[in-house]
Amino acid sequence: MKVTLTTLAVALALAGGPAMAAQWQALPDTAPAPADNPTTAEKVELGKMLYFDPRVSSTGTVSCFSCHNVMEGGDDHRPTSVGVHGQLGGRNAPTVWNSAFHSAQFWDGRAATLEDQAKGPVTNPVEMGMSDLDAAVSRLTRIKGYKPFFDAAFGPGDNINADNMAKAIAAYERTQITPDSPYDRYVKGDRQALSAQQVRGMETFDRIGCTSCHSGANFDGPALPAGQPFLMKFPTFPGSSYDAEYKLTEDPGRYASTGNDADRHMWRVPTLRNLTYTAPYFHNGSVKSLPEAVKVMAKTQLNKDLGDADTADIVAFLEGLTGKFPDQTMPHLPPTPGDLLE
């Protein structure tokens, strides 16, 4: 069904042409939260502490922040990230910026929510390496200074558990959004917010078909229910020289987590916001420059050989999607018991 929806969306967008596709939307100033995890200041404070705390990893050296640097691009600028014991992950770390607007998480959309996603790296043997979630909870329980913060966020009681840990981290991540880009101001009526080249790039982006996938306020596709990723085959038009040059087909995509042959080389459509901060690009971090990434996408997804002028215009438009980052302060973490990592 998800593949059918994706194909239908592309067909409709291409059939409708620029007028239909160009339903430009500004990013909201706040991110939506699920009914069972409303965003509160207390949860955000606790979530930020947990996000920055490497003690949730087996070696005490890797935190969420290690791979998703919110002091810059929300990622780590490596092709693939470094986890416990110096191990390399298999995919590029996607930016945490505006991830709250995705209908599913991870490159292959296998996690339905930010809460689900927050639990994954903790027990991944390459990433944070905890034996299970109970081990992570036990670690947090032994850090006595965390208890008042869990009480403030979730009420008194036996509240240090994996679900609350994930809810707090997700609440913090929902504050990591970047509205008020030049593009957003332009869409809201400030016709001076984008340069003439950026407006030209915006029109080119629409005309050649980029909006068939990268639509909506977050440029990651149409709004879908939580847990239903907007998927696209990559490359849609295989066989170009880019496939081998950038190893585009070595990773089977969503198939690796579902085993469903229809999911082979299917990927969740990523956001295009803040791309100037998130190089290198693609699921394997194989492309270093934004102009090259634009040319690769035009060829592999639209079967078009994009010239330098159009490429430069589209890049200029994409640069206009860089929004204002939220102010960041480093959290104060509770003290570590001397025997915590034994």
Q: Catalytic residue among 127, 173, 292, 319, which?
A: 127
- 267-292 tens-digit pLDDT: 999 999 999 999 999 999 999 999 99
Domains of the chain: 2-29+179-319 (1.10.760.10), 41-173 (1.10.760.10)
Task: Say whether 203 is catalytic.
Answer: no
Amino acid sitting at position 212: S
Q: What is the pLDDT at residue 23?
A: 84
Q: Which residues are annotated as a binding site?
A: 64, 67-68, 210, 213-214, 297
The 10s digit of each residue's pLDDT in 102-160 is: 999 999 999 999 999 999 999 999 999 999 999 999 999 999 999 999 999 999 999 99
Question: Residue 2: pLDDT band by 50, 70, 90 thresholds?
Answer: very low
How would you class 102 by CB atoms within 10 Å of its CB: exposed for 0-12, middle for 13-18, buried for 19 or more?
buried
Segment 74-100 shows an average pLDDT of: 97
Rounded Cα–Cα distance for residues 286 and 280 (Å): 6
Quick one: pLDDT at residue 19?
A: 39
Query: Which whole number is the average pLDDT over 23-52?
Result: 97
Q: What does each C-alpha distance from 201 to 219, 225, 275, 324, 338 come to in angstroms?
A: 15, 31, 15, 21, 57
> What is the mean predicted confidence (pLDDT) over 256-271?
98
pLDDT at 20 over 80: no
Q: Which residues participate in the annotated binding site for heme c? A: 64, 67-68, 210, 213-214, 297
